Structures are given as C-alpha cells and as structure tokens.
Amino acid sequence: MEAQKMEETWKAVDEYFEEKLETTDDTMEHILKETDDAGMRHIEVSKAHGKMLYLMAKMVDAKSILEIGTLGGFSTVWLARALPEGGRMATIEADPNHAEVARRNIASADLPGSVDVIEGQALDRLPKLMERGYSRFDLIFIDADKENNTEYLKWALKFSNKGSVIIVDNVVRQGRIIDDTEEKAVPYIRQMFDMLERDDRIETTAIQTVGQKGYDGFLMGVVK
C-alpha cells in the first residue's frame, strides 16, 4: 500500500507541474492520442521529461539533433521545437508503422526546422547518415532497444562536436541496474556504463527520476 501511495504522489506532482509549468499543450496531447489510437505502447518520455529535452536543446543552442528511437514522435517534436529556423533533425525508427505515425504527428506540429524520419534498424542507418548530409550533431538522444545502447553511444561519439550533449534514457530500470535480475536489458546497460567508466572523451552523470512513468532515470554527458 505504501508503494502505491508513493506512485500516486509521483503522478500527482507531475500533474501539478503540468498545470503550473506547461509541460504539455494541444499538439502534444494530440500526439499522445494518435499514438494510443495506433495501438502503440506508451513508452515515450513523460511530459515533463519531454519539455526537459526541449530545454536542454535550447541551452546548447542545438542546430542539429539526432534521435535514436522515434516511436510516435512525442520526444521528436519536443526536441525539434528547440531548433532554430533552418535547423535539422534526424530520427531513426525501426518499426515502419511507428515511423508512419511519427511522420503524421510531426507534420501536425508547427516546427521551425526540418525533421527527417529514417526507417530501419539504427545500426544499419547510422553509418549512412553522412550520405544524407549529416556529419555532426549538437544533441543526441538515445531511446531505443537497450541491447544496443553501447553501440549507439559509440556512434553518438563519432557524430559529436566538442560540447555536444548526449542523453540516454531508461538507465535505472526501477533500480534493477544494480541488482541481479533476469531483465535482459540490464546487462547491456551495465556494459554501457562500463564503457563510460573507461572513456575519457565525455563527461557524464546519471539522474534517477520518478513520476507518471514510474521509477527510472537517464544518463547525460557533454563531449570533451
């Protein structure tokens, strides 16, 4: 019962932030409804987290953004809103149905820059980004299959400038990151942390979060 009460409190606090800090709007609610109507799982970032991504992109004056894992385009639109006129964003989605929903949702938003939804497995598409005119990104958001996080991070570093920000979602897993667990994603996330422990190209931290999406957290770093 105590755990249930805590989760109710987390949700209520997020709702309070939503009311006071405008962590959502009609466009974002439309995207969530379209995602729901398409029968997709609600595994997008929370409303507060979405706005946080937008603010992070604004803080670094991001003119180019890469997202790995589009889903229905919720985080995509938040990030793309931070682009200046003429800015560019590439987002990679493995599921063609998800990519189509995302394209519709992105088209429904009034965005200052262009968003390129790239269909296919990220590890197949990342090596070909330069052919599409992308060379470096100011901000990279990784929120796809956790089994490939380490490889995604390696590519993110290749596509980074000095000062580029890299964010990786879902790294706490309700605390299971430090437990013996049968959850298949956890060993791969630990592998990513092991890589970061030895890699001096990036300064990083990880933050635990609670809210409407439960207990999890994200990693963020700045490329040196």
Q: Annotate 82-118 with DSSP letters as a single string.
A: TPPTT-EEEEEES-HHHHHHHHHHHHTS--SSEEEEE
53 touches 74 (CB < 8 A): no
- Overall average pLDDT of the 17-30 stretch: 96
pLDDT for 57 beyond 90: yes
Percent residues over pLDDT 90 in the chain: 91
User: What pLDDT sits at residue 184?
Assistant: 86
Which residue segments constitute the domains of the chain, with CATH numbers given? Answer: 2-223 (3.40.50.150)
146 touches 185 (CB < 8 A): yes
Q: Can you give the pTM of this predicted structure?
A: 0.96
Give, for 165, the enclosing helix (H) or strand (E).
strand 160-169
User: What pLDDT sits at residue 1?
Assistant: 54
- Overall average pLDDT of the 58-80 stretch: 98
- Overall average pLDDT of the 96-115 stretch: 95
Model confidence over 134-146: pLDDT tens digits? Answer: 999 999 999 999 9
